Chain A
């Protein structure tokens, strides 16, 4: 999987790249508008992470450029502006997703994963791992051929874990993924325990044990 990270803040760009490389993504970075323009015109990427405010130009122009070339790369906008019309314009021009800064790296990773999956399995909307099979259209999950009945939260949680395989995701990242900005307003994120416990139990019942591991009590890891 080839990823292009267009972000002028070097530390943030490096963090994203490091996080994604852990799951064997090939990450390239562009720090300025000109650099980004050049890279998207020369190479093909599976997914582009695009910041809108860049030295030398507006990220939306790069997006328009990618789409004009008929480049099938998935594009996810990350912006500090968060203004509603920016989001609308981005999605209108052809961005696949939009994430406002600050965000959790697991959230970004999960969305990149979702975009790439959607593009790869465009027609079938189904993907499988070693022991799991998920139909993205009907939201049905089967483990070892045995159908699982998951609640919406458990299904979301499962996809979130799959989008962050082999990496530690913090409780707050999970909480925020499950309840959007509302998680922000809660002082503790204990409500996620119930969902994780239930998901674990359902997976174990179907013979998929030892997938979700608690790490130091601060986060979880899917292996």
Chain B
């Protein structure tokens, strides 16, 4: 494509417009000449022809009027040309720029790359498009690599962790192990578990970001809670656990992920509780609400779902790895649900609200 610079193109359009308007204005100039500059001459010629006396001339006044009018007309033409050119250039000349803007406004780093931006007849826009194409391709590729890295790294860690854990299991079998050594093995065991859990959680987050949980089915949340409740009960040693099923709640979702969401919320409530405390799970048409008593003060609403967030005034380490609530949020985002945190009457409350359009009415 033959390319010109932006300024060349604008000048070209401006000149063309100007010439055209001047051509169109020729009758106006003709009229101007006839009625002002040449008017006296006309009168003189008429008088001479008819043999009358030449009338009194006021050349100065006519010329002054003429000049003023001429100035006005030229200024008018130039203004009209400017307005037309601006309108035209915005519409035609800047159209590729507008297209580019629209494309990059729609661009999301986690979505597939859009069509590459085309070449245009304006050299600057072509340069802009080429640069943007490269920028978008690079960042998309970089983003993908980074996501894949987390996933690959987590995968690669599974095997060494399995080896380590197996070795420790084996070490425990040694009949010559002393009590002190056994305690050391137990410590290492705990650390291996923590690493394995961290690794599994990171992998889960990476997989959700890479949208690897495509299977969706209609889930009956109350039935799902019924399946999980015995396990929660096992863990909630000494706590009162209450499940209130106000109304049925059925929605499409990925079962494994929704189980993770429920587990994370409930176990978070169990873990941060007080002795003889209470955990309550409520299911209604609007969503799920998990409430618990705790010695912790209110948490920061804006930060509580951030990865690895630990409240600075936390009294004790609850043993979490700071990913549980981040995963809960990721699961909600994945399904288009909304998760929020509130602190009322000394109780921490995590609610998952389901937009009405997403839940399936159950008759």
Contacts and interface: CB of A to CB of B under 8 A. Distances in A.
A184 B267 CA distance: 10
A210 interface: no
B167 A185 contact: no
Given A9-B159, A170-B172, A153 B264 contact: no
Interface of B: 155, 158-159, 161-170, 172-173, 177, 179, 182-183, 185-186, 189-190, 192-193, 196-197, 200, 203, 212-213, 215, 230-232, 234-235, 237, 256, 263-264, 267-268, 270-271, 317-320, 324
A190 B235 CA distance: 9
Given A172-B193, A184-B193, A191-B237, A217 B169 contact: no
Contacts of B193: 172, 184
Given A9-B159, A19-B166, A106-B169, A217 B182 contact: yes
Interface in A178-223: 178-188, 190-191, 194-195, 215-219
Contacts of B192: 102
A185 B159 contact: no
A26 interface: no
Q: Which 4 A-B pairs have the closest CB atoms?
A: A187-B319, A15-B166, A216-B182, A102-B162
A153 B234 contact: yes
A191 B235 contact: yes
Interface of A: 9, 11-12, 15-16, 18-19, 22, 78, 80-84, 100-106, 152-153, 167-173, 178-188, 190-191, 194-195, 215-219
A153 B190 CA distance: 22
**Interface residues of B: mostly helix, strand, loop or mixed?**
helix
Given A80-B162, A170-B189, A172-B190, A218 B182 contact: yes
Given A81-B155, A216-B177, A102 B165 contact: yes
12 contacts: A12-B159, A15-B167, A84-B213, A84-B215, A84-B256, A172-B190, A180-B231, A182-B267, A184-B196, A186-B270, A216-B179, A217-B179
Given A180-B231, A182-B231, A194-B237, A101 B159 contact: yes
Nearest to A85: B215
B225 to A, nearest CB: 14
Contacts of B159: 9, 12, 80, 101-102
Residue in A11, A101, A180, A183 with the greatest tally of chain B CB atoms within 10 Å: A101
B189 to A, nearest CB: 6
B186 A218 contact: yes
Contacts of A15: 163, 166-167, 169-170
Contacts of B165: 102-105
Interface centre among B172, B190, B268, by most A CB within 10 Å?
Answer: B172
Task: Point out which of B158, B168, B213, B271 has the most chain A C-beta atoms below 10 A from its C-beta.
Answer: B158
A184 B197 contact: yes
Contacts of B212: 83
A22 B172 CA distance: 13
Contacts of B168: 170
Given A11-B166, A185-B271, 8 more contacts: A12-B159, A83-B212, A84-B256, A102-B164, A103-B165, A172-B190, A181-B200, A185-B268
B173 to A, nearest CB: 6
Contact of B169 (A9, A80, A170): A170
A114 B169 CA distance: 20
